[in-house]
Amino acid sequence: MSTDLQADALLAELQDLAALPVEAGERPPLAADGGTPSGRQLYLVDKAGAAQSSLRIGHPAIPYDALGDFYQAGLANFPLGGVFNSRLNLKLREARGYTYGVRSAFTGGPELGSFGVSSEVNRDATAAAVSETLQVLEAYAAEGMSEPEFDFLRNAIGQRDALRYETPFNKLELLTDILQYDLPLDYRNRQNQLLRTVDRESLNAVIARQLRPDTLSIVVVGDLASIRPGLEALGLPIRLLDEDGFERPGKADSEDSP
């Protein structure tokens, strides 16, 4: 609970809750299914007449960890796709004009996590946007961030985090994370200390471990008749899905055209 009420008065109002029976809940661990892709796969969903194509590109990743590789992968993602002047946004939006914006992120829960890139791109630029996104990811995984990018992320994230817990809702989210993940009460201070002391080489090593461009799943939703030829030219294996995510029977190009 996050409030401006006096603690003593609030606790007095909540005393009746202390009499309720308490049962220890048990949550069985969620077993990972071992479904890490062995290579790239493109999934194509038809949205006839769509002026834009929706791109979702990603792979399974590590679960949430407030102070280890997960947190550091989030830092390392910042220059890649976590800010407006990221590599992905500068390439696809500013240099190419394919999209109004593109982002990437590592997300994680108690058992599972993922890395993902998302964007809406011009229909005629669909194949080029996929190709150039893959190129950016490959280069970043191989080479990591530059020194200027590292300096920028350290300053920008430090300033951003200083404002993250101003509202009652923000504070409630912080407490929820502490309870859900059994975090130390000072974990935010520890993260800030890590941000101040981590070096560029360490973050580049984390991104080299956690970003795996060769195992990306690529989902494209768009006008099949318009975008399929360009996507086929990329040489990736393609599977057709319906709008519910179920695989469609393979069809010749002419049968998919209006």
pLDDT of residue 2: 66
pLDDT of residue 221: 98
pLDDT of residue 253 exceeding 50, the answer is no
Residue 211 within a domain: yes
pLDDT of residue 166 exceeding 90, the answer is no
Residue 48 within a domain: yes
- In this predicted model, which residue has the larger pLDDT, 24 or 122? 122
Between CA 113 and CA 61 the distance in angstroms is 5
Between CA 79 and CA 162 the distance in angstroms is 19
pLDDT of residue 35: 63
pLDDT of residue 107 exceeding 80, the answer is yes
pLDDT of residue 10: 78
pLDDT of residue 252 exceeding 90, the answer is no
pLDDT of residue 103: 98
What is the length of the chain? Answer: 258
pLDDT of residue 257: 38
- For 48-75, how does the pLDDT look when each residue is reduced to its tens digit (9 = 90+)? 999 999 999 999 999 999 999 999 999 9
Average pLDDT (86-109) is: 97
Q: How confident is the model at residue 18 (pLDDT cuts 50, 70, 90)?
A: confident
**Residue 210 belongs to domain spanning:** 36-256
Residue 134 within a domain: yes
What is the number of domains present in the chain?
1
Least confident span in 28-32, 185-189, 205-209, 254-258: 254-258
Residue 29 within a domain: no
pLDDT of residue 258 exceeding 70, the answer is no
Least confident span in 35-44, 73-82, 199-208: 35-44
Residue 110 within a domain: yes
Average pLDDT (137-145) is: 98
- C-alpha angle with apex 85: 65 to 219, nearest 5 degrees? 65
Closest CA to 151 of 98, 92, 211, 199: 199
Q: What is the domain-level CATH number for residue 55?
A: 3.30.830.10
Residue 19 within a domain: no
Residue 136 within a domain: yes
Residue 248 within a domain: yes
Average per-residue pLDDT for the chain: 90
**Read out DSSP for the chain?**
---SS-HHHHHHHTGGGGGS-----------------SS-EEEEEE-TT-SEEEEEEEEEE----SSSHHHHHHHHHHHHHSSTTSHHHIIIIIIT--EEEEEEEEEE-SS-EEEEEEEEEEGGGHHHHHHHHHHHHHHHHHH---HHHHHHHHHHHHHHHTTTT-SHHHHHHHHHHHHHHT--TTHHHHHHHHHHH--HHHHHHHHHHH--GGG-EEEEEE-HHHHHHHHHTTT--EEEE-TTSPBPPP--HHHH--
Average pLDDT (97-114) is: 96
